[in-house]
Amino acid sequence: MKKFLHKAIYWLYSVFNDRTIAPAMEEIDVVIPVIEKDLPVLPLCLEGVRTCVPHPIKNIYIVAPPQEEIRSFCEANGLVYVDEKSITGITPEELDMKITCDGKVIDRSGWLMQQLIKFSGAVGTCRNYLCIDADHVLLQPHTFISQSGKPVFYMSYERHRPYYDMIIKLTGLERTSRLSYVAHKMIINREQLASLHRYIHGRRNENWLQAIVDAYDRTQVSGFSEYETYGCFVKDKIKLPWKQRTSRYTDLADYNSLVKRFGKRYKSVTFPEYYNH
């Protein structure tokens, strides 16, 4: 019943709050954490960014492990490759985030690593950077900074209690929205993020990365969200419905075909691995 009500709230929000926001012509960076399995969908993600982001893009950074196939892809597509260890100082193996859930041990090190990369603020040079998941494809124009300078966050109907519990542990802040900031993309301002890092340090008496690792509930498969945490912290913002579709790999096609098939109804489409296995 709660799930139905939550989706009903989102539907009403989508009907009455969707609008066009004029974009600021401010240069941004784009940051995409990648591993080898992302390469089949990544070209579509990049085409969506280049087609649907109205802000000038200075550089697109691919943050990934040192694998030759990923390096070659970056060189062939005009992307800036960044070794993921240079950002966090550790590899996923060294992070060693093992979760025990329902009697099973699950390795969530790689999953958490890509969130730490986006949450670091250490990639790129622009004041604002757009994080987007490698399996997420924009189909319609997306404004991320309004002409008044406010960030534009896209809201989903996800509702995951462990994310909010973690935010309370890190910041003491309660949930600020009935909807979720987990929408596969987010514009992040480096100054705001640095303030959040300092806020976490002041509360936990340890740096933001160690605080996340130490506070993580190791009985939860998904126990932290960078998007939810940052979205909750930022006060002055514009919120829009995300209107996205989750699809299987059988729906993969060239970009124009995806736009033609899904673009009238949806703003984006995502091809998550978990949904295809």
Domains, the chain, ordered by start: 2-276 (3.90.550)
Helix or strand holding residue 268 (H, E): strand 268-270
Q: In whole angstroms, give the CA distance from residue 109 to residue 94.
A: 8
pLDDT over 90 (residue 178): no
Answer for the pair 92, 113: CB distance below 8 angstroms, yes or no: yes
pLDDT of amino acid 3: 58
Long-range contacts of 66-75 (CB under 8 A, 24+ apart): 67/36, 69/36, 69/39, 70/34, 70/35, 70/36, 70/39, 73/39, 73/42
- Structure token digits, residue 216: 């993580």
**DSSP code of residue 153:** E
Mean pLDDT of the chain: 93
Q: Residue 129 burial by CB count (10 A; 0-12/13-18/19+): exposed, middle or buried? A: buried
Q: 146-169 pLDDT, tens per residue?
A: 999 999 999 998 889 999 999 999
pLDDT of amino acid 9: 64
- In this prediction, residue 174 has a pLDDT band, given cuts at 50, 70 and 90, of confident
**171-183: average pLDDT:** 89
pLDDT of amino acid 86: 96
pLDDT over 90 (residue 14): no
pLDDT over 70 (residue 98): yes
**81-89: average pLDDT:** 96
- Structure token digits, residue 49: 């960014």
pLDDT over 70 (residue 124): yes
Answer for the pair 213, 204: CB distance below 8 angstroms, yes or no: no
pLDDT of amino acid 276: 74
pLDDT over 70 (residue 6): no
Q: 194-238 pLDDT, tens per residue?
A: 999 999 999 999 999 999 999 999 999 999 999 999 999 999 999
pLDDT of amino acid 221: 92
Q: Is 145 helix (H, G, I), strand (E, B) or coil?
A: strand
Q: In whole angstroms, give the CA distance from residue 7 to residue 3.
A: 6
**139-151: average pLDDT:** 98
**245-252: average pLDDT:** 95
pLDDT over 60 (residue 16): no
pLDDT of amino acid 92: 93
Answer for the pair 143, 152: CB distance below 8 angstroms, yes or no: yes
